Structure 1
């Protein structure tokens, strides 16, 4: 869920084919109002006048001294720009101006590169630190690296739906094929969570949505003193980045969409979540097959089927006797889901599963346990995730629709399907009014060239989403990492991808409408540590 060498964060969860439409009254508006457009212009003008007073970052952020922090004021409701204001926290490291290959040669500064890592609910405050990595040094020489916490996240008008002290409920079972009694319990929990969001946030809840995230981005641009925006959005960040390009095409300088989610209004968000669950099954099988190829290291079987059986055995054991009293099947599944996002975690996760099945639970407990000190951040991230996705679009409000669609899907994609349902189910009982998603579009000549990066087997943002975004944004270029599945590939281990990224950000060059890169090498197995000598 967090950033690795590549800049990426998981989108929540995502989709199938049939669902009952929400009632027409669920959508409050299909397009931004004139008042909201005027309000955004007013807020951006004020931000341009104020700028950002950058200073030392809060100690709890644990950012190095080279990173400076400040705040940007935005309206809670853009239709009322003179009404309640909230503050977004922003971080920045200045362009180094130094060519990493020749320290004596200076590099021309090209302005600010603003990043959003996704979620919804993820903070970009740590993005400026990426400039220290070799893959980012050329970009960091030319750009100020700017991150920020979107509305609701962290210190940016934080949103909460429940007491963080009760957020982690482990160890818990979360069966792959739940009983009717278990489903009733989870429906009740979803209703309570939706009710908690409404009670804690009040009328403000409706203003946490993707269109406001796009408007906030334009205010941040203005506060940074940029006439046009250079932006890198990962995962969910590609969606409100695409909204930004639709709303403010003349404000775009360069935009990178990394791990693009499908922006088709019919997909936002229920169907996207069904598609995601289906894609995770394929990606989970990729991991199992990799473990099987390294049976000499992990001893979990020589076929994906045998490794899958070992995972099922681990779930059964944990249901009866949680590891360390902390890790049950739900915690195991949440931990192993990361193998569906990033293949650089495969060795560590395979080792933990292998050790547990051979009698050593310690690596699995370390990997999968819920840490109380992280509960507040986790609860905040989930609250923002749900507020944005539930507000963005109509959702089925009849549990029978969810039950039907996901029961069908779980027959062929059991790994993530029901876990995904339980994450998103509060949207069925949401108290705030719903929007109708904006139709993302850019005709020929309306935008400068934009760059879309996608891994062909990405499960969190299935590849068809990148194809759809490419189709909708005229003049865009799609770079595909073939036969690869890590979620977010910008600035990661693939040198071919990074060459395209640098050529675009540093020189404005794109390789035509389509380009492809071979997958980077898969990770090497990580052997079990040998017992210490007596």
Structure 2
């Protein structure tokens, strides 16, 4: 499922795993498996070794205030004495003061931004932001790169130059010839993943959850305080199911639907529907500000302006690299974050005036980012394909996505092509874990969700709320930003602070009014916009 990591991170997607070990702390009575024993042993070793903090590698591009280290985990938890891989970890220590007052230290808060394929190494830097200062005063802020990501035993499935090759087409209603071309690409990509990565089958969310418990032990924490966004919520829910007694506090920000029947094929279909709704929200905003952009006074007129640009790019790519595929990828971000709206509207307006420069700056591939993007996509694909069964007959994909594209053309087929390697995946598939805990097994947890989130539709938060007794859902009504904790909504941030700092939650549920919509930018201000946020 394509989804961006929350506001604090890079783009990525969602996924989970199968239960091949009895949940720690559960009452299942199932005998321990080799993976269960391997996790316990790895955690014991990590607790004894700790983490040696030092300067961060230059490749991490982090300031001196952030310290880095590594944690060793088994590639295969069934063989804890076998091959080890190292996960990179970053940290800033709690400042100890907020608003000029001393603050008691509450240990570490570990953050996962989602994906799979996104790195959280940058997370400690958020402590300087006003929205995070109170939390940074009480907690060490800990980020890390999950297995496969960045320098943590990285995965790669193809030459990065091929991954970012441009321009490309992205037909909303592909013909038979184009479908056959994408099938061939998906098969080639799946073969490349297997050939380049001998340990491919071990890159799963279940192992990510085990890695998180080893990281907890290495930090010297008896219980984990964790915040996950997007895929990080599923990741966290799996951890809570497997290790409920190891949980102190957990925040699930923009929750994935954890119902096993949704993982992952159906979740992707639902996501495409939600993106269509959010795409309409963007167009309605542009129409409301027609005096600034002149792209149309109705969402339908704005769509025609967009389609005109798309058709021209199919004939003549902007700057030689921005075709319909790059256009679609750029405007997909408008579905994740509404603070992209002024930039994207300006780019369309300028292009139609004869100035393609803003669109090229916002949509053209960046060669210097190719390796990182290819790595993120490789991890995403590996985890998603390993974690759950997928239809292996393209007729199923063709039937379902052709029907859906009639009512939700914006993202449907692009989403399908991203996941199609899973139809031809060479590694063994797992069965999704039935996420959930018994009443009282888990401390109270906090779920944050925007009502019109496209990447993780709101129904996912409701389902997670139902499956975790004692959890409380806080909703940002009428908004659609993906990843809302520590963002623009002070009401949401108040609930986040109250929970992480005091363990305090609303009695049942709570709702926050939406954050303010962005203001349009035009003229000189629009011309001075940064390339990206």
Task: Compute the TM-score of the two structures, normalised by the length of structure 2.
Answer: 0.95
CA distance in 1, matches of 2:417, 2:135: 40
1:123 equivalent in structure 2: 119
Report deviation, 1:12: 2.6
1:378 equivalent in structure 2: 373
Give the alignment partner of residue 184 of structure 2, picking from 182, 188, 191: 188
CA distance 1:390–1:455, shift in 2 (3 Å): same
Per-residue CA deviations over 1:472-518 (Å, capped at 9, x if unaligned) read 00000000000000000000010000000000000000002211100
Give the alignment partner of residue 164 of structure 2, picking from 168, 173, 178: 168
Corresponding pairs, count: 515
Report deviation, 1:30: 5.7
- Please say if residues 11 and 460 of structure 1, whose CA atoms lie closer than 8 Å, have aligned partners that are also in contact: no
2:491 equivalent in structure 1: 496
Report deviation, 1:353: 1.0
Aligned ranges for residues 457-472 of structure 1 at < 5 Å? 457-472=452-467
- Please say if residues 136 and 491 of structure 1, whose CA atoms lie closer than 8 Å, have aligned partners that are also in contact: yes
CA distance in 1, matches of 2:147, 2:386: 14
1:412 partner SS: coil
2:110 equivalent in structure 1: 114
1:504 partner SS: helix
1:7 equivalent in structure 2: 8
In structure 2, list runs of 5 or more residues that go unmatched.
Answer: 23-31, 528-533
2:80 partner SS: coil
1:355 partner SS: helix
Report deviation, 1:168: 1.3
- Please say if residues 280 and 459 of structure 1, whose CA atoms lie closer than 8 Å, have aligned partners that are also in contact: yes
- Please say if residues 490 and 497 of structure 1, whose CA atoms lie closer than 8 Å, have aligned partners that are also in contact: yes
1:438 aligns with 2:413: no
- Please say if residues 57 and 68 of structure 1, whose CA atoms lie closer than 8 Å, have aligned partners that are also in contact: yes
CA distance in 2, matches of 1:515, 1:249: 25
CA distance in 2, matches of 1:70, 1:411: 50
Per-residue CA deviations over 1:318-348 (Å, capped at 9, x if unaligned) read 0000001110000000000000000011001
CA distance in 1, matches of 2:4, 2:257: 21
Report deviation, 1:7: 3.5
CA distance in 1, matches of 2:46, 2:353: 59
2:286 partner SS: helix
1:449 aligns with 2:448: no
Per-residue CA deviations over 1:380-430 (Å, capped at 9, x if unaligned) read 000000000000000000000000000000000000001101100000000
Report deviation, 1:13: 7.3
CA distance in 1, matches of 2:400, 2:126: 41
1:477 equivalent in structure 2: 472
In structure 1, list runs of 5 or more residues that go unmatched.
Answer: 15-26
Per-residue CA deviations over 1:121-178 (Å, capped at 9, x if unaligned) read 0000000000010000000000000000000000000000011122212101121111
Aligned ranges for residues 127-142 of structure 1 at < 5 Å? 127-142=123-138
Per-residue CA deviations over 1:287-342 (Å, capped at 9, x if unaligned) read 00000000000000000000001111111000000001110000000000000000
2:234 equivalent in structure 1: 239
Moved over 2 A (4+): 1-4, 6-14, 27-33, 528-532
CA distance 1:356–1:160, shift in 2 (3 Å): same
1:279 aligns with 2:274: yes
1:245 partner SS: helix
Report deviation, 1:240: 1.1
Per-residue CA deviations over 1:27-64 (Å, capped at 9, x if unaligned) read 99765561111110000000000000010001121111
2:217 equivalent in structure 1: 222
2:77 equivalent in structure 1: 78
CA distance in 1, matches of 2:214, 2:88: 12
Give the alignment partner of residue 326 of structure 2, picking from 326, 331, 335: 331
Give the alignment partner of residue 157 of structure 1, picking from 141, 153, 158: 153
Report deviation, 1:236: 0.1
- Please say if residues 239 and 263 of structure 1, whose CA atoms lie closer than 8 Å, have aligned partners that are also in contact: yes
RMSD (Å), alpha carbons: 1.6
CA distance 1:530–1:38, shift in 2 (3 Å): closer
Aligned ranges for residues 293-442 of structure 1 at < 5 Å? 293-442=288-437
- Please say if residues 211 and 243 of structure 1, whose CA atoms lie closer than 8 Å, have aligned partners that are also in contact: yes
1:360 partner SS: coil
CA distance 1:13–1:332, shift in 2 (3 Å): farther
CA distance in 2, matches of 1:249, 1:505: 18
1:23 equivalent in structure 2: none
Report deviation, 1:11: 4.8
CA distance 1:298–1:108, shift in 2 (3 Å): same
CA distance 1:243–1:349, shift in 2 (3 Å): same
Per-residue CA deviations over 1:83-131 (Å, capped at 9, x if unaligned) read 10000000000000011x2x2x211110000000000000000000000
CA distance in 2, matches of 1:29, 1:337: 33
CA distance in 2, matches of 1:289, 1:86: 48
1:118 partner SS: coil
1:143 aligns with 2:113: no
- Please say if residues 447 and 472 of structure 2, whose CA atoms lie closer than 8 Å, have aligned partners that are also in contact: yes
- Please say if residues 209 and 388 of structure 1, whose CA atoms lie closer than 8 Å, have aligned partners that are also in contact: yes
CA distance in 1, matches of 2:331, 2:14: 15
CA distance in 2, matches of 1:510, 1:349: 37
- Please say if residues 11 and 461 of structure 1, whose CA atoms lie closer than 8 Å, have aligned partners that are also in contact: no
CA distance in 1, matches of 2:58, 2:488: 31
